[in-house]
């Protein structure tokens, strides 16, 4: 009986304290109530932290952005909105200058040579003829407006301009190089008999630009040979240094040494046989 009365008394006291505590004002020594934001559960959230329904699950977690200390009070400010995602997808982004960055997993653009036709071995062209180069573009996400076509020679490290600002209108391109016209006016840097490298690159870029996904990279893998033709010589006046049938000095010395060794061998063998009486 006494136990039941004690329980009733404790219940009345607990109810009185709960009501009194709920009505008590917020203590001044604690941070402002408005400055405290409860960390949301990002796993099942369907609304933004501002209280506006978005209809999408948000993975944004508020993080402290600034701490204010004033009059003995410390107030922590939290970000209440997720970062904006209006600058394009993670794969393709466009900057303020209009340059689009493509997925880094994509290859850089290139060319596939069509003319001259792909054959085994090095191809040579006579200086003075018209030489045509044709190619297809490959792996391009952003087609260049125009390209520059150059040729470089390893012997004199000279860069020859075949065509500049060639407009790109479709998947194929072709240029023709008048080597005779160039050679006729080239005084300081004539074409040499040597191996050349064809260079194709975006006219809006540079010949030393770094390859970038989706954009045309500098193409400098195709090589070809060029030679200066000799003037015509009548057959009667033609002298071939490697076609003469006469023996040269080296051949004569070698033949004399061979004959001398044969004579020495015969004489020494005859003396050996007669001296020992091998033959009766």
Among residues of the chain, what percentage have pLDDT more than 90? Answer: 38
pLDDT tens for 205-232 read 999 999 999 999 999 999 999 999 888 8
Higher pLDDT residue, 11 or 191?
191
Residues 39-64 pLDDT 10s:
555 555 444 444 444 444 445 555 55
What domains can you pick out in the chain, each with its CATH number?
A: 2-78 (no CATH), 110-227 (2.60.40.2840)
Q: Calculate mean pLDDT across residues 105-112.
A: 93
Q: Do the beta carbons of residue 201 and residue 147 sit within 8 Å?
A: yes
Average pLDDT over residues 161-172: 93
Q: What average pLDDT does the segment 233-246 reach?
A: 74
DSSP secondary structure, 182-222, as one string:
HHHH-SSS---SEEEEEEEEETTS-TTPPP-BTSBPPB---
Phi, psi of 141, rounded to the nearest 5 degrees: -100, -30
Of residues 52 and 133, the one with the higher pLDDT is 133
Given a contact cutoff of 8 angstroms between Cβ atoms, the answer to whether 83 and 65 are in contact is: no
The C-alpha atoms of residue 256 and residue 259 are separated, in whole angstroms, by 5
Verify cis geometry, omega within 30 degrees of 0, for the bond prior to 116: yes
Q: Is the pLDDT higher at 119 or at 196?
A: 196
> Which of 38, 40, 30, 39 has its CA nearest to residue 75?
30
The residue ranking higher by pLDDT, 199 or 271, is 199
Top-confidence range, 124-128, 153-157, 240-244: 124-128
Query: What mean pLDDT is predicted for residues 65-76?
Result: 49
Q: How confident is the model at residue 195 (pLDDT cuts 50, 70, 90)?
A: very high
Tokens of 270: 């005859």
Instruction: For residues 207 and 161, give the distance between their C-alpha atoms in angstroms, rounded to a whole number.
Output: 12
Whose tokens are 């934001």? That residue is 37
Mean pLDDT estimate for the chain: 76
Statement: residue 164 has pLDDT above 70: yes
């Amino acid at each position: 009986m006494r136990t039941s009365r004690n329980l009733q008394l404790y219940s009345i006291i607990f109810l009185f304290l709960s009501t009194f505590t709920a009505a008590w004002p917020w203590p001044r020594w604690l941070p402002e109530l408005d400055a405290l934001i409860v960390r949301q559960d990002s796993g099942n959230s369907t609304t933004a932290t501002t209280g506006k329904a978005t209809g999408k699950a948000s993975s944004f977690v508020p993080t402290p952005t600034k701490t204010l200390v004033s009059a003995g009070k410390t107030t922590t400010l939290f970000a209440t909105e997720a970062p904006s995602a209006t600058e394009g997808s993670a794969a393709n982004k466009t900057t303020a200058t209009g340059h689009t960055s493509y997925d880094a997993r994509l290859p850089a653009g290139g060319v596939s040579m069509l003319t001259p036709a792909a054959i085994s071995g090095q191809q040579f062209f006579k200086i003075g003829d018209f030489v045509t180069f044709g190619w297809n573009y490959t792996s391009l996400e952003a087609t260049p407006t125009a390209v520059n076509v150059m040729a470089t020679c390893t012997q004199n490290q000279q860069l020859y301009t075949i065509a500049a600002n060639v407009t790109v209108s479709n998947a194929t391109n072709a240029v023709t190089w008048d080597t005779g016209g160039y050679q006729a006016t080239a005084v300081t840097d004539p074409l040499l008999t040597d191996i050349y490298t064809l260079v194709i690159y975006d006219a809006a870029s540079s010949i030393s630009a770094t390859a970038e996904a989706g954009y045309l990279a500098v193409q400098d893998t195709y090589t070809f040979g060029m030679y200066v033709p000799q003037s015509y010589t009548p057959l009667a006046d033609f002298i071939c240094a490697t076609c003469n049938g006469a023996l040269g000095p080296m051949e004569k010395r070698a033949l004399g040494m061979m004959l001398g060794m044969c004579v020495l061998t015969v004489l020494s063998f005859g003396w050996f046989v007669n001296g020992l009486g091998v033959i009766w």
